[in-house]
Structure 1
Amino acid sequence: MKHTSKSSQANGLTIVIKVGTTSICDETSHFPILSNLSGLVETVLKLKSLSHRVVVVTSAAVGTGLRRLNIAEKPSKLAARQAVAAVGQGRLMALYDDLFGQFNQPVAQVLLTKNDLSDRSQYLNAVSCFDELLSMGVVPIVNENDTISTQGIRFGDNDTLAAVTAGMIKADYLFLMTDVDCLYTDNPRTNPDAQPVFLCDDVSALKDKVSVVSGGSALGTGGMITKLVAADLATAAGVATIITHGSKPGNVCKLIGTSDNDTNKPLHTKFTAKNNPMVDRKWWILHGLHTAGTIYVDAGAAKAVVTVGLRSSLFAAGIVDVQGTFNAHQAVKICLRSDEGDVMIGKGLANYSSSEIARIKRCNSSEIATVLGYVNADCVIHRDNLVRILEEQQLD
């Protein structure tokens, strides 16, 4: 299925720009970095003048709240961080509204949690809301709803949130604005031999070649590893993803639509979009739904699930174990145990609860009625509700 955004059909692009905390707030004083923010606003307006649709995913609610409350450091207690974020989010939106308002550009606040998107109807409502806002010429300003999010239902960082947003609206580009020009093979601040990575076609292979052990800033939650995760999510949905410096928002305009071989472009790392992106429903299952448990399968079932030409549903006979407590129709991981640890082969919507699966594992489909006294389905996960993340050759 070819990835085609609505904006592309109208000769414009849909672009998501994620700005990190260190691009918005001074790490020590917590004052806003107005030069960066003004540059971002000017970039967004220039993109819109070229008929592009733009969404901004913003961090810095906590940093802005710390400045407003005159608190020196981010609290360790969850409730305190949520309270600081609640104070800061209003101030942050007021800042964006004031800057965009100088040019009569309307903006909208969109606060999301992973739990909001776990329900299919809510996911589709969010997609429709984005589409309406962009059709109206509004710039949506997206952030995670830190005030009500808990650890289990958080995106965890705004890089992931930006990737999910880009996938939802079928964006053409996702820009991850950070505190370095691009991805390096190691931390360039500590290793002078670190080399820039300019182009990546395979995020999984790249993870084995670069060092991304450094975390985020004192105010932020990310780091380079979250950029790779976000790039993996976004490119799977057909979204080209670019890492570039947050203090140079004008780079966005210079990088759009240029050839990968153009040597005059600003320093950046580009992750190319997959040619065969996941269809919307399966992308939602994989990235929008909370994982409620794990089903372990034998090698035969794993091969039947991932082999091209078979792409089988998952049947009870191939299940060896189940972990976690979940109900029917919740999303679960499908894993194969190996000497090196668990290997995740996919994710899907279960037709049976964890307690039911524990009773029918290793049973043939014809035996389910005898064991349970009823039959919900002849398979535990139907192939139409199963997303494979491993290829046949990767099982060998």
Structure 2
Amino acid sequence: MQKDPISRPVSVNARHRDHTSSSPLTIVLKLGTSSICDELTYTPRLAVLSGIVETVVNLRNLGHRVVLVSSGAVGTGLRQLNLKEKPSEMSRKQAVAAVGQGRLLSLYDDLFKLFSIPIAQVLLTRSDIAERAQYQNACGTFSALLDMDVIPIVNENDTISVTGIRFGDNDTLSGLVAGMIDADVLFLLTDVDALYTDNPRTNPDAQIVRTVEDIASIGDKVSTETSGSTLGTGGMTTKLVAADLATAAGVSTIISLGSAPHRILSIIDYLYSSQDPSLPHPCPYTLFPAKSRLLGDRKWWIHHGLHSYGSIFIDTGAVKALIQNKSSLFATGITQSQGQYVAVQGVRVIWADRDLEVARGIVNYASNEVERVIGHHSTEFRSILGYADADCIIHRANLARTLDLSTLKDLLAEGE
């Protein structure tokens, strides 16, 4: 089961190549519900929690800065309320999370207090970072906490999150947090020790995948059957999403075993030391190296942080202009608008002929205005709307392209 189809690891990434095992890193650790609570009794897994705390302390002693993204509020709340299963009704589920969140933070506080380390609770919702100023404020708060040697403990604010604008799972949240704080490494700690070519629980010949450089194509080569627990919401698929988010922001991402947090130290030492990379790995894990061509902070936020309130469909000519020429989006190339949005809200830009997302952006006009100017030149806006606030629907500075040029060329070649 430990066969390695990749003979040697790749460099972590260009940005981190100068790091050594003694250089300070900013590290995000994401701990899933199954690592925190027993699935049947909902009792806290104190051994795992204690191991995580000791690992964080050891990382801090080495000079690293650590943020902990922790699930477990619902599971802890079920235990406190003596409930046998997670409620299906949203309001009751949120109430259980509200009860459990306080108890979970108390557990962390008791453990970190043994080492005289202060902690801070940070509860986020998608809407908290969907507005640029709030996103920047959140980044500033994380920076201040880390400068004060405080351990931020992050969770989604389940008490008030609304379906449709939720992160959906803490894997996604951890990827966003890693990008927000400009982290070096994100550890996704789960109930399996790595990504495998098949489910290692049912297939003893499953091979471990040590390095994944192309997340988009890995789905056909590996197993994502290891779903989330009955308490959790994530699975291996959500970890691939989180890795995609983080690596786009320059954060190397690692899947490792949550019940063995001590492995984090050896993995960090291995990846960031100057030892021969052809030497054997210290333990099973999967590495997603950070991408070499990174989105800028604002473009990354538009792509991953900004909530999309609708969709704008465009023709092939507009797709070419956006991707090949990196132009703004003009009304002449729009074929349809879906959803209700207002100016300065986020939308998805869809290639109409292929029903394929090509970009995300911040609109200059509301959906009812866009519908009225579809197919028209900007010189006609004033006669149609009575005003012209901008000559384009989305300015190129407010566009984050999700389709790359090489893929566009391949798709266009297929149609010839």
Shift, 1:93, TM fit: 0.3
Pair 1:28 & 2:40 matched: yes
RMSD: 1.6
Partners of 2:310 and 2:54 in 1: how far apart? 45
**Is 1:383 matched with 2:396?**
yes
Counting only pairs closer than 5 Å after superposition, residues 106-185 of structure 1 correspond to structure 2 as 106-185=118-197
Correspondence list, 1:94-105, <5 A: 94-105=106-117
Superposition map of 1:335-346 within 5 A:
335-338=350-353, 342-346=355-359
2:361 pairs with one of 348, 356, 359: 348
Map of 2:27 onto structure 1:
15
Instruction: Work out which of the residue numbers 214, 233, 245 in structure 1 matches 2:245.
Output: 233
Residue 166 of structure 1 and its aligned partner are, at CA, apart by: 0.4
Contact 1:160 1:226 in 2 (8 A): yes
1:250 corresponds to which of 258, 262, 266: 262
Does 1:50 pair with 2:65? no
- Per-residue displacement from partner, 1:167-219 (whole Å, max 9, x unpaired)? 00000000000000101122222233322111011110112322324431100
Residue of structure 1 in register with 2:323 after alignment = 306
Is 1:221 matched with 2:221? no
2:101 equivalent to 1:89: yes
SS at match of 1:320: strand
TM-score of the two chains, using structure 2 as the length reference = 0.90
| Code of the aligned partner of 2:162 | T
Identify the residue that residue 283 of structure 2 maps to in structure 1.
266
1:370 matched to 2:396? The reply is: no
Shift of 1:26: 0.6
Separation in 1 of the partners of 2:364 and 2:279? 51
Contact 1:3-1:276 within 8 A present in 2 as well? no
Aligned 8 A contact 2:311 2:339 in 1: yes
* Structure 2 CA distance for aligned equivalents of residues 383 and 236 of structure 1: 19
- Tell me if the contact between 2:32 and 2:72 (Cα under 8 Å) persists in the aligned partners: yes
Contact 2:335–2:352 (CA under 8 A) maintained in structure 1:
no
Q: Which one of the candidate residues 288, 297, 305 is aligned to 1:288?
A: 305
| Partner residue of 1:67 out of 74, 79, 86 | 79
Matching residue's letter, 1:318: G
Consecutive unaligned residues in structure 2, runs of 5 or more: 1-13, 272-276, 412-416
Deviations 1:215-274 (A, max 9, x none): 311000000000000000000000000000000101111111524544132100000001
Change (3 A) 1:244 1:349: same
Partner-residue secondary structure (3-state), 1:313: coil
Deviations 1:13-65 (A, max 9, x none): 10000000111111111111111111101100000001100000000000000
2:343 to 328, 343, 346: 328
- 370, 374, 383: which one pairs with 1:361? 374
Picking from 276, 299, 309, the partner of 2:293 is 276
CA distance in 2, matches of 1:66, 1:197: 36
State the aligned residue count: 388
Secondary structure of residue in 2 paired with 1:87: helix
Structure-2 residue corresponding to 1:297: 314
Tell me, yes or no, if the aligned pair for 1:12 and 1:51 is still in contact at 8 Å.
Answer: yes
CA contact (8 A) 2:195 2:223 kept: no
Q: Distance in 1 between matches of 2:368 and 2:203?
A: 51
| Superposition deviation, residue 11 in structure 1 | 4.0
Identity %: 55
- TM-score, normalised by the number of residues in structure 1: 0.95
Kept after mapping to 2: 8 A contact 1:238/1:275? yes
TM-superposed CA distance for 1:103, in Å, is 1.0
Alpha-carbon distance in structure 2 between the residues aligned to 1:393 and 1:238: 21
Give 3-state SS (helix, strand or coil) of 1:225's partner.
Answer: helix
Cα deviation for residue 76 of structure 1 reads: 0.5
